[in-house]
Amino acid sequence: MPASVDTAPRGAVLFDLDGTYADTAADMGAALNVLLRRHGRPALAPELIRPHVSSGARGLLKAGFGLTPEALDYAELRAEYLAIYAADICCHTRPFDGMEALIRRLVDQGLTWGIVTNKPGWLTTPLLAAMSPLPAPACVVSGDTAPRPKPHPDPLLYACGLLGLEPAHCWYIGDDARDISAGRAAGMATLAAGWGYLGTDTQPAEWGANGLVEHPLGVLDWLAADHPPPEPPAPPPRAA
């Protein structure tokens, strides 16, 4: 339910999940290596897997098998991979260093926070339940929540509806070019998460984000220096 005008936060900072809020590379990579061994292929070193994690199963299957979604056996391998991952979804996954302190500081400043990810809900929900973030996110939008996933703005606009905020009062932080594209299309300020996985095809400086932050706590410096928290919309006049 969207927040009422009287209780709406001053603004919101929304995070991508994999590679921005949480370091999921070890668990996602372990699942890929189980799949590779099942199919008679050698396991990949963690450093070869890590850059592809933000692209989810699509990126990992390309790294491990050289497959794209158009391949005939892609859908079957993707389903097998996701089943392996779901079975051990939070063995090593943790928030990135500094993320929990960042969120506490944001909340202390009157801001709220949320997750907007392309990870499907049936994986997002158990992962966050296992992590039990405190304070809890004010909204969680998964890849199958809105009509279209990122890079479309739909998930971010959906999050704004849940929070009762205009996009201009929100920031989006992610470690992939599609995160920045989605945030810009939604009308939000955006930050590239320099601590994340960042992919292999482009440079964050080319994504068009408002800024690049190298550590989660650097978000506070960026907001304070360049973009102070936006003012909430004025409440409508009360009926006589």
* Residues annotated as catalytic (active site), given as ranges: 16, 18
- Which residue, 211, 188, 152, is CA-closest to 11? 188
Residue 40 gets the label, from left (phi > 0), alpha (psi -120 to 50) or beta, of: left
What DSSP character marks residue 187? T
Neighbours of 160 (CB within 10 A): 26
Bridge partners (DSSP) listed for residue 113: 13
Provide φ and ψ at 10, rounded to 5°.
-65, -30
Q: Give the whole-angstrom CA distance, residue 230 versus residue 10.
A: 7
Q: Give the whole-angstrom CA distance, residue 148 versus residue 125.
A: 19
